[in-house]
Amino acid sequence: MSRVSDFGLSAAMPSLNDLFAQLRVATIPAEVEALQHAIWQHWLETGDAALDKQLETGMRTLAAGDYTHAIHEFTQLIRARPDFAEGWNKRATAHYLRGEYRASLLDIAETLRREPRHFGALAGWATILQMLGDERRALRVLQRLARLCPHLPGLQTQLRDLNDRLDDLGL
């Protein structure tokens, strides 16, 4: 099995399953970060140069704050490759940043349908649920995230705080 060593990637890119297996047991923050980075590298590859370019354009416009253009780019990408989870996830991010939480949640659902281990989508889902006041569902989503990456920096504190709030409310 290939391994992320010295918190960097080995010459052979490990499979997603290998990376997720390592992520479940990684405890050192730098190792968790390196594993997540390696997973993102997998997720950001469409296998098609033109679609990779479109994804890059969408990500650039998203970073520049042009959410409408980013949504357009990601929608085109989704139409061309509906099975590509990261197209849905990036569009969910753009919708979230525009304050369109319902649209973001719909795209998060599509992301997770294609990649149930998508920790970025899970974190976004939990954030939106908390913003909408649905802390019980947010807790369940964070627990799902903890099964994938129990040592994600800050996650255990977030789970404890949310549990405490729900206990205080008698929920």
pLDDT digits (tens, 9 = 90+) for 23-73: 999 999 999 999 999 999 999 999 999 999 999 999 999 999 999 999 999
In this prediction, residue 7 has a pLDDT band, given cuts at 50, 70 and 90, of very low
Are residues 9 and 62 both part of a single domain?
Answer: no
Are residues 6 and 87 both part of a single domain?
Answer: no
List the beta bridge partners of residue 5. 8
Are residues 34 and 107 both part of a single domain?
Answer: no
Q: Which domain holds residue 20?
A: 1-43
DSSP-based three-state secondary structure for 8: strand
How many domains does the chain contain in total? Answer: 2
Are residues 22 and 90 both part of a single domain?
Answer: no
Q: 102-129 burial, b if ≥16 CB within 10 A, otherwise e?
A: ebbbebbebbbebbebbbbbbbbbbbbb
Could you tell me how far CA 16 lies from the centroid of its own chain? 14
Are residues 101 and 114 both part of a single domain?
Answer: yes
Are residues 73 and 118 both part of a single domain?
Answer: yes
Which CATH number characterizes residue 109's domain? Answer: 1.25.40.10
pLDDT in tens, 102-144: 999 999 999 999 999 999 999 999 999 999 999 999 999 999 9
